[in-house]
Structure 1
């Protein structure tokens, strides 16, 4: 592990021969073509037009690989040394973002721009280290090609991604974000904030012991988070509903459930009972209005309906907990 971090056991770029530089360029183009096709595959179902852009860019990388192989065959023969990015110290690496699903449009496009910029810098440095005129010209041409890939993506985007298509893809991306992150997270926040009100405030007014109340709140919050997270992840794999990764939804729901309960449990770490209770009630007030805002902002629930559902319901649960604990 330390040798990898420190770059031990890797070759320096300056030590590579011209044949090895060509071999590295060939393997890099192969990898980039695979990455672009992975992007295309990941976007194909929801963003077919953007997927076409990355298919076109993968074909461009295939063309670069072909001319590099021809140059290698001309100068050094058919046997290409096995040398990849991870074998060279200081050489750029590709993070496996393409393995993560679902793929976000903005993230993918930004990553593609970064890939082309890195490839451009590589070809510039490689050309400086090459003495053969034809090889130097080829590497310079490839550097220019990589530099213009951004404009290539723009041209393909104008051709394939019309304003209507872009608007549709943006709407699809927002809808997917809501289905995968906002809905489960909101359900968890509501459950954690509202359902834990009664046991926490009942324990508080029954015992007037802040530490025991905190333990009740902690156990209720963590238990509810685990239960909600597993339920969200297990009841729908997302294939038919299109709600996205069950793991992401389960984590979003479970984490927000836990946070929703902990918000008004943490004040009971304060030893003074009435101070802790006052702060906890203030926290509850902000929690409930945060839920109302999220419902209105992302779920397009009218303000009045969201207020009645959340604030009034939360106040009733809070009151029930206080009455039960005081009896």
Structure 2
């Protein structure tokens, strides 16, 4: 397998039988997730638990209808194809990552699940060549849209929310998916992965111009690689993460900026002045990443700080030790 190239199938390359099989496995997974949510909420929020039980039962009905379609058109043997086999297909967070974050987070997860499923069925219906299958997929898209409203009602059950707030919430989610997530991944990669070559070169040569050239090459090269990898890994058709070009730009630019931040100080001719400023820039970068993770990705701040700052410090130390050897 070529590094950076996904071994998963693109949705557009799936046969119609594989699309139906993927829908069946997705309905099975969603029903199990909803029942898990119901079990988690049953003691404290019995009304919400009942809603999730009902949604799970409806997903079972969708699965049976899809199995009937598959049997009629393709026979009894259903190919094994799951979400993780398809590039860009929406993923579900494990229940244990959600269960400790409260009722609001579970409600939001359910609403996102139904939005993802609706988008999938709308896309799948357009590709179907069989009229009855196309009608079923369209009906399922409408049903998932009804589920999304139902899940949204759970969110607003105890919170005063108007239409404008819901629209802003949807826009915020899309902004995070399209710009923040790939940009944050790029910033982390650029800031951390370039520490070792830049500071190894700096301490090995103590030549600021050479260090700047190596840092620039590492940062720009990493930015190009990350940008193309992000754009090629997911076309956004199913995942809803938005334009691959926008995500590639976000990832590539932030990767380059992350590396250039501590390469630029080496334009200063005095080695120790440049190095001290670069240390300060690295410190600011790592804490900024931790703040962004906390602000947009809902990662607890101290956990994010521990992961990013400790990881960056280890890479920085590795570069300095290697360069001084």
- Alignment deviations for residues 36-62 of structure 1 (CA, whole Å, 9 cap, x no partner): xxxxxxxxx99xxxxxxxxxxxxxxxx
Give the Cα–Cα distance (whole angstroms) in 2 for the partners of residues 315 and 290 of structure 1.
14
* Cα distance between partner residues in 2 of 1:206 and 1:170: 51
Counterpart for residue 253 of structure 1: 251
d(CA) in 2 for partners of 1:260 and 1:170? Answer: 29
> SS state of the match for residue 264, structure 2?
helix
Number of the residue aligned with 1:173:
171
| Cα distance per residue 1:157-205 (max 9 Å; x no partner) | xxxxx94433322211100000000001100000000000000000000
1:312 corresponds in structure 2 to 310
Report the Cα distance in structure 1 between the residues aligned to 2:199 and 2:260, rounded to whole angstroms.
13
Residue 284 of structure 2 is matched in structure 1 by 286
TM-score computed with the length of structure 1 as normaliser: 0.50
Deviations 1:251-287, CA, capped at 9 Å, x for gaps:
0000000000000000001111111100000000000
CA distance in 1, matches of 2:170, 2:271: 49
Root-mean-square deviation (CA), in Å? 1.5
TM-score normalized with structure 2 length = 0.50
Map residues 81-160 of structure 1 onto 2, 5 A cutoff. none
1:206 to 204, 207, 210: 204
State the alpha-carbon separation in 2 of the partners of residues 177 and 315 from structure 1: 30
Match of 1:196 in 2: 194
Among candidates 211, 219, 233, match of residue 231 of structure 2: 233
Distance 1:307 1:177 in 2: 23
Distance 2:245 2:265 in 1: 31
Whole-angstrom distance in 2 between the partners of 1:260 and 1:323: 22
1: CA distance between counterparts of 2:174 and 2:190? Answer: 24
Q: Which runs of 5+ in 1 are unaligned?
A: 1-44, 47-161
| Equivalent position to 1:273, from 271, 274, 277 | 271
2:261 maps to 263
Structure 2: runs of 5 or more not aligned: 1-114, 117-159
Aligned partners of 1:306, 1:269: CA distance in 2, in Å? 31
Deviations 1:293-320 (A, max 9, x none): 1111111110111011101110010000
Q: Aligned equivalents of 1:303 and 1:238: distance in 2?
A: 29
> Residues 89-144 of structure 1: CA distance to partner in whole angstroms, max 9, x if unpaired?
xxxxxxxxxxxxxxxxxxxxxxxxxxxxxxxxxxxxxxxxxxxxxxxxxxxxxxxx
User: Number of residue pairs matched?
Assistant: 168
Q: Deviations over 1:12-49 (max 9, x none)?
A: xxxxxxxxxxxxxxxxxxxxxxxxxxxxxxxxx99xxx
